[in-house]
Amino acid sequence: MNTGKNHKIVDCTVRDGGLVNNWDFSVDFVQYLYKCLNEAGIDYMEIGYKNSPKLLKGSESSGPWRSLKDDFLHDVIGEKQTTKLSALVDIGRVEVNDILPREKSLLDLIRVACYIQDVDEALKLVRQFHDRGYETTLNIMALSNVKKSHLVEAFKLISHSVVDVVYIVDSYGSLMPKDIRNLVKRFQKHLPNKRLGAHMHNNMQLGFANTLAAADNGVELLDCSVYGMGRAAGNCPTELLVAQLKNTNYSLRPVLDMIEKYMIPLRDIEEWGYLIPYMITGMLDEHPRSAMAFRNSSDKNMALQFYDMLTVPNVNS
Amino acid sequence: MNTGKNHKIVDCTVRDGGLVNNWDFSVDFVQYLYKCLNEAGIDYMEIGYKNSPKLLKGSESSGPWRSLKDDFLHDVIGEKQTTKLSALVDIGRVEVNDILPREKSLLDLIRVACYIQDVDEALKLVRQFHDRGYETTLNIMALSNVKKSHLVEAFKLISHSVVDVVYIVDSYGSLMPKDIRNLVKRFQKHLPNKRLGAHMHNNMQLGFANTLAAADNGVELLDCSVYGMGRAAGNCPTELLVAQLKNTNYSLRPVLDMIEKYMIPLRDIEEWGYLIPYMITGMLDEHPRSAMAFRNSSDKNMALQFYDMLTVPNVNS
């Protein structure tokens, strides 16, 4: 990685990892993570979603990081340190008036996730968060499935927007490093006035490699999570990104501290990472939901059965 | 990957995986693997070492794949199919007269592993195996630690040798895709008359990505093992390589069959893959032996303690 460039690390453990355990992280866990990320010099911690509980199904059974409340966040964080705080929102699930002006909030960055067809709606939200003083990103999901012509349409909208950073999101973990290089070049060509970010998944064991490919080609914001914790196959591991940036001001030791104290025990009771059903949905460029359901069934190790379900016509009919 | 190129897959499950379980694979396991690799269209199966038991410590407790005998191999394989058979030998551990002329052997390929300072000795062995009719490779281990000047010296010897294929081996799993690209270019420049191979380890979750980087830059023989089984962090997984080459004549389904039937149950009792101590030795460009010993101790999950052992001066004194 070109360590001379201005890379920034965005740790998504609580937000994306919450998709694994229904955001059932204790306050102790999140406080310790915040301490470790600060000590490690990580630039941003995405501490959850800022969606409205009223607009979410089943939110009453979820942990508090799924719909962050400002008072709660103040209690958890206490005195703010140097790692900035981020929250993600989804179109149709966020109540704009839940987002305080930045000077009254502990959050620094609001990220808006959307599919390609909703970029215009997403940019309307971005505008409002920008006007309230936040840094903003637009995270375009499932890019592996997007047609070039749709992307070019979206670029036109984005280039005229106020959004600070545009994310390349490999939601299905199906892209190869060469795909990432090509996507980054296309984004740079069409959005010369925007900074870029990358959020990769590990279905094909390429989360870290694809993040490196993005970074080497000039992508600035690099998403990751400690021990790779994230939906299904998980994300680029924070510890690998920090280890690779070892000649910078990042420190690996606090990340290993978090792994030893919390992540290794957590991995014993929650499941994420490279597993064959996730590899298969990644290879097929599909959402991992079928694989997640399969891993929750008694057949979870029947790799061949799952492959046939997804590839042999009528095997399920 | 440039699927138009002439890539060949070398599955090392039995040989490199044997370093995990002391080659304790049943004949049923190896026969089923041979069947699956044939069905998948894999080019080579490395079925073990051809070292002499007389020259190995503790070989009496190892499984038969650590010192293959020709009669035994005939019993296991029976009628030979299309996947070629390979064996690895180490300098100082092989008795040349144990290697039958190829027409009397089931083996097609003999690979000689060595460190950079032993390239001349290794090439003497290569010459003898070549003269007995075998395809040959020279596998230069621990390339991440080799000085450029030593490599240039070795290139001179190799370019005048009879060896068919020269391997880039990332023994410690410490190289990045860009390192692989640079190494491949250097090998191609100095050895224009040799075909190249790549053998990668997964300490930094880059086994597959580095193998892709090698393949995309013209490396022909690609090592891997089913479900990544290999010493410490393991290898590039065969299933990922086959999945990525899905537009070729390789088939994924038989590899998944092997994974479901044998590899997932085996992973429950033997350990390999991405684990923090292996990540740390990879990052530090060290042999994984300290990490393997640590994973065999009661402190095995003490990620921080292991990091301090290897990085803090005098922590162990």
Nearest to A204 among B240, B259, B273 (CB): B240
Mutate to test the interface with B, among A172, A206, A217 (most CBs of B within 10 A): A206
Q: B283–A243: do the CB atoms touch at under 8 Å?
A: yes
Q: Which pLDDT value is given to residue A315?
A: 54
- Residue B315 is predicted with a pLDDT of 54
pLDDT tens digit sequence for A187-244: 999 999 999 999 999 999 999 999 999 999 999 999 999 999 999 999 999 999 999 9
Answer yes or no: is pLDDT of A5 > 70.
no
Chain A residues lying within 8 Å of B278, measured CB to CB: none
Q: Which domains does chain A have, with CATH numbers?
A: 8-269 (3.20.20.70), 276-311 (no CATH)
- Could you tell me whether strands B8-11 and B221-224 are parallel, antiparallel, or unpaired per DSSP bridges? parallel
Other beta carbons within 10 Å of A137: 28
Mutation target to probe the A interface, by most A beta carbons within 10 A, among B279, B285, B305 is B279
Residue B167's nearest CA partner among B122, B216, B111 is B111
Q: Do B169 and B142 touch, CB atoms closer than 8 A?
A: yes
Task: Count CA atoms within 13 Å of residue B30 on its CB side.
Answer: 26
Q: Band of the pLDDT at B71, cuts 50, 70, 90?
A: very high
Banded pLDDT at B316 (limits 50, 70, 90): low
With 70 as the cut, is the pLDDT of residue B297 above it?
Answer: yes
Predicted confidence (pLDDT) at residue A60 exceeds the cutoff of 50: yes
Predicted pLDDT at A145:
86
DSSP reduced 3-state for B64: helix
**ipTM value for the complex:** 0.95
Residue A273 pLDDT class (50, 70, 90 cuts): very high
Q: How confident is the model at residue B58 (pLDDT cuts 50, 70, 90)?
A: confident
- Per-residue model confidence as pLDDT tens digits over A9-54: 999 999 999 999 999 999 999 999 999 999 999 999 999 999 999 9
Return d(Cα B294, Cα B304) in angstroms, integer: 12
In angstroms, what CA-CA distances link B314 with B287, B301, B308, B317?
20, 21, 10, 5
Q: What mean pLDDT comes out for the span A165-171?
A: 97
B264 Cα to chain A: minimum distance (Å): 7
Q: What is the pLDDT of residue B57?
A: 87
Q: Calculate the average pLDDT of chain A.
A: 95
Check B259 against A279: CB less than 8 A apart: no
Is A253 in contact with B212 (Cβ distance < 8 A)?
no
Residue B213: the pLDDT is 97
The percent of residues above 70 in pLDDT, for chain A, comes to 97
Chain A positions in Cβ-Cβ contact with residue B303 (cut-off 8 Å): 256, 259-260, 264
Q: Retrieve residue A64's tokens.
A: 């508090």
**Which pLDDT score, from 0 to 100, does residue A246 have?**
56
In the structure, what pLDDT confidence band is assigned to residue B14 with cuts at 50, 70 and 90? very high
Residue A247: what pLDDT?
55
| Higher per-residue pLDDT: A107 or B143 | A107
Instruction: Place B5 in a pLDDT band, splitting at 50, 70 and 90.
Output: low
Return the pLDDT at A3. 45
DSSP A216-285: HTT--EEEEBGGG-SSTT-B-BHHHHHHHTTTTT--SHHHHHHIIIIIHHHHHHS--S--HHHHHHHHTT
Which residues sit opposite B78 in a β-bridge?
none
pLDDT in tens, B242-257: 999 755 789 999 999 9
List pLDDT tens digits, range B156-200. Answer: 999 999 999 999 999 999 999 999 999 999 999 999 999 999 999
B205, B240, B264: residue with CB nearest A208: B205
**CA–CA separation, A199 and A184 (whole Å):** 12
Q: Which of A176, A177, A168, A199 is nearest to A44 (CA)?
A: A199
Q: How far is CA B140 from CA A204, B51, B56, B193, B208, in A?
A: 27, 17, 21, 17, 19
CA distance B283 to B106: 39
In this prediction, residue B106 carries a pLDDT of: 98
